[in-house]
Amino acid sequence: MSKIKVVIAGSSGRMGKALLEGVFQSEDLQLHAALDHAGSAFVGKDAGEMVGNACGVKITADFASALQGADVLIDFTRPEGTLAHLEACLKLGVNIVIGTTGFNPQQKAQLAAAGQKIGVMFAPNMSVGVNLTFKLLETAAKVLSHGFDIEIVEAHHRHKVDAPSGTALGMGEVIARTLGRDLEKCAVYGREGITGERDPSTIGFATVRGGDIIGDHTVIFAGIGERIEITHKASSRATFALGALRAARYLEEHPAGMYDMQDVLDLR
């Protein structure tokens, strides 16, 4: 059986290294190319050296050439870079797994449109555990739809540039959709000063940034006399990498379309 030819974007970054390790440890995946931004000190270096496993694949900034002959691109970079990569994938018929966060509604529409021609797997979090948590939150929101205030608390490392995290927003979207609310209208992202009593229809978000926290998320359903908390804590980026590689395999076996990890894990 031929191996799935994988291209990794942002290969010198924290997630890029985790993805490289995952590909090297897989029997059915092959590193086809490794990308980094133009001007990176790692361009021209052996991608495997990022994880102590020289492989002969040189890191490049020429994504159009790198994608030639590939099966799938895995991208955990920035919205602008991901969208540029997406255009190249569309031209070459290469599937794409997107773990990038921070897209605006118009950019998300571009991802959905691409799904009409290629396989697009887009999720705010690739972790199997987080995506199971999404399902648990849907159930909890149905049961606790009245009399419970909902707050989402997330913590990440000091280098994370967007807030709240894409995962926290994804959790909020699951809950809002289940409750028949519009997250854009009911979300509260910060409280300061005399705020008045809490509006029971809102969903609150709190953000912590510090140290090397990989990713912690807690959703609190606070009622009178009881409180339910659903928490996921990541201790390694390997969990996101393994989920992304699982998604790459899924796209290889399915027709063009827009998918997320709920599809990959059969949690619909």
156 carries an active-site annotation: yes
Of 45, 135, 160, 254, the active-site residue reads 160
Q: Nearest 5°: CA angle at 264, between 263 and 268?
A: 30
Q: Beta-strand (E) ranges in 36-129?
A: 59-60, 72-75, 95-98, 119-122
Rounded Cα distance between 102 and 167, Å, is 10
CB-CB neighbours of 57 under 10 Å: 19
- Distance between alpha carbon 235 and the CA centroid of its chain, in Å? 16
Helix (H) / strand (E) containing 142: helix 128-143
> Rounded to 5, what percent of the chain is helix, strand, coil?
35, 25, 40
Q: Beta-strand (E) ranges in 145-214?
A: 149-156, 187-188, 203-209
267 burial type by CB count under 10 A (0-12 exposed, 13-18 middle, 19+ buried):
middle
Rounded Cα distance between 70 and 8, Å, is 11
Closest CA to 32 of 9, 12, 52: 9
β-strand pairing of 227-234 with 29-35: unpaired
37 carries an active-site annotation: no
Which tokens hold the place of 88?
A: 């190249």
Of 85, 156, 217, 232, the active-site residue reads 156
8 A C-beta contact, residue 207 and residue 154: yes
Catalytic residue numbers?
156, 160
